[in-house]
Amino acid sequence: DTGVSQNPRHKITKRGQNVTFRCDPISEHNRLYWYRQTLGQGPEFLTYFQNEAQLEKSRLLSDRFSAERPKGSFSTLEIQRTEQGDSAMYLCASSLGASPYGYTFGSGTRLTVV
Amino acid sequence: AQTVTQSQPEMSVQEAETVTLSCTYDTSESDYYLFWYKQPPSRQMILVIRQEAYKQQNATENRFSVNFQKAAKSFSLKISDSQLGDAAMYFCAYRRQETSGSRLTFGEGTQLTVNP
């Protein structure tokens, strides 16, 4: 197992376009989290899944954002009608339950909306 | 809501010296976890050290140790014998101790520079 994998590493898109990111967690981890990190700031929670169920969503996750984890394995985060304010690093992390050891993070997808 | 504050946007240290990064947090919970994560330019967040709030003993991991002051809601990170590879952004993070929700709340980060 090579850890949490995120694709693509970078994405440049025009304002108004839709984008989709993928996260492959560590295989035995049942929890998967999405965070957004803007330049010079700490990551902010967006949403998390336990298996295929989306259990919590932040107010940051507007109607233009949707996340899925259809089979409890990989997850996708889609942003519709992108805006310049969506430019950020999108981080995925996974854990085995409410692990006291925190999460394992991926390297993130950097989105630039032009 | 829980908040985490890192009041030092930037810190620098000479190689082989010791540096302390500060973190304070606000919570009404009595049981929780605190973490320090390192984010190098490669971007992947790496867990450095963790502390359970119910433990009075400060956590240590090799050259990394914490000073956990529960009453003061303070959680500082000490890096001893600093190495060039320690240069990174460091984030303090808080998590409630519960089985249903487990979001991490992060501070703003401290950029650490290690000078040779």
Q: What is the pLDDT of residues B43-69, one digit of tens each?
A: 789 999 999 999 889 999 999 999 999
Helix (H, G, I), strand (E, B) or coil at B92: strand
| pLDDT given at position B90 | 98
Residue A18 pLDDT level (bands cut at 50, 70, 90): very high
Q: Is A17 on the interface with B (CB under 8 A)?
A: no
| Segment of A2-6, A19-23, A93-97 carrying the highest mean pLDDT | A19-23
Q: What is the pLDDT of residue A88?
A: 96
pLDDT exceeds cutoff 60 at B103? yes
Residues of chain A in contact with residue B50, where contact means CB-CB under 8 angstroms, are: 100-102
Contact A44/A109 with Cβ under 8 angstroms?
no
Pairing mode of beta strands A10-13, A109-113: parallel
Q: Give me the pLDDT at residue B4, please.
A: 96
Neighbours of A69 (CB within 10 A): 23
Query: Can you tell me the distance from the alpha carbon of A77 to that of B68, in angstroms, rounded to the nearest whole number?
Result: 36
Measure in Å the smallest separation between the Cα of A110 and chain B Cα atoms: 10
Q: Does A60 touch chain B (CB under 8 A)?
A: no
Q: What is the pLDDT of residue A19?
A: 98
Contact check, Cβ <8 Å, A42/B106? yes
